[in-house]
Amino acid sequence: MAFSATLSCTVFFNLHKNRSRSSPPPHPPPISRQELRRSRGGSASSRSRSGRIRSFGAMEAATAEVAAAGESGGGMAKVPHVLTVAGSDSGAGAGIQADLKACAARGVYCSTVITAVTAQNTVGVQGVDNVPEEFVAEQLESVLSDMQVDVVKTGMLPSPGIVRILRKSLNKFPVKALVVDPVMVSTSGDVLAGPSVLDVFREELLPLADIVTPNLKEASALLGGRQLETIADMHSAVKLLHQMGPRHVLVKGGDLPGSCDAVDVFFDGERIHDLHAPRVKTRNTHGTGCTLASCIAAELAKGSSMLPAVQVAKRFVENALDYSKEISIGKGPQGPFDHFLMLNRKVHNFGKKIVLDPSDLFLYAVTDSGMNRKWGRSIEDAVKAAIEGGATIIQLREKDAETRNFLEAAKSCMEVCHSRGVPLLINDRIDIALACDADGIHVGQSDMPVRTARTLLGPEKIIGVSCKTPEQAQQAYMDGADYIGSGGIYPTNTKENNLTIGLEGLKAVCLSSKLPVVAIGGIGMSNAHAVMELGLPNLKGVAVVSALFDRECISTEARKLHEVLSGAAPEVK
């Protein structure tokens, strides 16, 4: 993971300072690792993916209840749901607060069970008050008995009793997956959980876990103080931790000494995966471990398999850290980062409200990764040349670009476009659009729904959507799109097997739409005039790819095309 923090998240506890307000209830009887494994359908190495579903005797009954509830709910959609069992961070950088923000950023509902309340800020932890164990049990019962939780994610579990209460609750109310983030080690490396807590983690929680996500110091503590200083050490650690029962292990190497990259090691019981990311130099790393584990839980709740969930979570935290690296919250050495990519005032212009002018669609230039490579151009150079030739709006469609490179290029393109008064949209990649504060986004029918994009981007951004039929055009208007891209009008090399609708299809879309329309697909010098000659009031322009970017001189081709569209030059045969 791309951060320099030494903790999964620094919501810590001190067993000696625990100010529990009442005596804990009797602990559930201990259960052996062998019994746990038998209840889950076999040994750790032999469990199948379906073994998790069958691991609890009550699963069939619970499934029947959910099905019955769905049948009686009038077809209402089930919302992916994560329950986090963790401590509260008054500074809101880590713990429960980070879990809530991470799940919200990933589009998942998150409920909470609070195990401890901390007084902390960016300087450190000033106080901890553990929640009485019987009240932790009451919170678990309240949420799990009612709210159809998909995934449980754990953070700060400050006593053996709370671990056992959680295990008992999961046996009573089974879930699809358990994500264990073992918050046990301080930034100084001190083990704050005593031997009894470590033992109960090993014996009773890890055998239930679908994934455990320790950092280097936490993994070392779980392994009895084993030193982890190299990637080879991490390879050994994931295998040893896997033997304790979890189905998957992710050891985070953000603190690995001498490493230029942030390397996390993932083990699925058969294969080891080294997950590399650039190391982000920033003080704003508080809550990275909590966020990573919560993002994994969110993706699992949405139905992802484990490795893709881990990869998405790692990219999310990397992007958030990079975006947040210069924000300033608090005076201490470890600040929080921005889960929603909205706090960096150097990037965001809060006084600016983008309103689409339909005339902006007149000459709509759409970039292409392959063409940039073919002609040896950067994205920035291609965009600058298109605007110099008369392009009135730019869409970055860089399907093959690596995320970090794409983001940096998008930021540069924003400067180019705004200095010339030209809107910049991002194709499909809402993460890039948010991170660079683009003017909007363009989505296809198989991409993110317009309503979802609007929720994430807010009311002030431009959203375009591709439509081939009148029905899609009408839906785009109801969903809150600002314009429609209709096509392909003609066959094109940029999208194989793309169904063309021709001029008649374009006409049908325009006549049924209340939104401005830009025609796209196979349009160039030879046919652009014919498209605009349809004379439809809401047909505002054409979008082009190859006609500009697969040419030696982009600016020259843009000027010629602008003239054709304006009727200042005859149609080129």
Catalytic residue among 287, 440, 521, 522: 287
**Closest among 108, 152, 102, 159 to 136, alpha carbons compared:** 159
Catalytic residue among 285, 291, 392, 494: 285
Active site residue 287: yes
Active site residue 51: no
**Closest among 298, 28, 32 to 163, alpha carbons compared:** 28
Continuous H helices in 437-484: 450-457, 470-479
- Report residue 384 CA to chain centroid gap: 31
Q: Residues 296, 144, 175, 111: what is their CA dihedral angle, to the nearest 10 degrees?
A: -10
Give me the long-range contacts of 304-309 (CB less than 8 A, separation at least 24): 305/49, 306/210, 306/211, 306/247, 306/248, 306/268, 307/266, 307/268, 307/273
Active site residue 285: yes
**Closest among 456, 462, 458 to 424, alpha carbons compared:** 462
Active site residue 110: no
The Cα 217–Cα 223 span in angstroms is 10
Catalytic residue among 112, 288, 492, 494: 288
**Closest among 33, 29, 70, 36 to 56, alpha carbons compared:** 36
- Hunting for tokens 């001189």 — which residue is that? 553
The Cα 260–Cα 227 span in angstroms is 20
The answer to whether 10 touches 185, Cβ cutoff 8 Å, is no
Catalytic residue among 101, 153, 217, 252: 252
Active site residue 351: no
The Cα 25–Cα 231 span in angstroms is 43
Sign of CA dihedral 161, 162, 165, 166: negative
SS3 label, residue 181? coil
Catalytic residue among 289, 464, 488, 505: 289
The answer to whether 218 touches 154, Cβ cutoff 8 Å, is no
DSSP assignment letter at 361: G
Catalytic residue among 9, 290, 417, 510: 290
Active site residue 118: no
142 sits in which H/E element:
helix 133-144
DSSP string spanning 222-247?
HTTS----SHHHHHHHHHHHHTTS-S
The Cα 88–Cα 117 span in angstroms is 5
**Closest among 151, 217, 152 to 182, alpha carbons compared:** 217
- Hunting for tokens 């919170």 — which residue is that? 139
Partners of residue 25 on adjacent β-strands: none
Residues acting as catalytic residues: 252, 285, 287-290
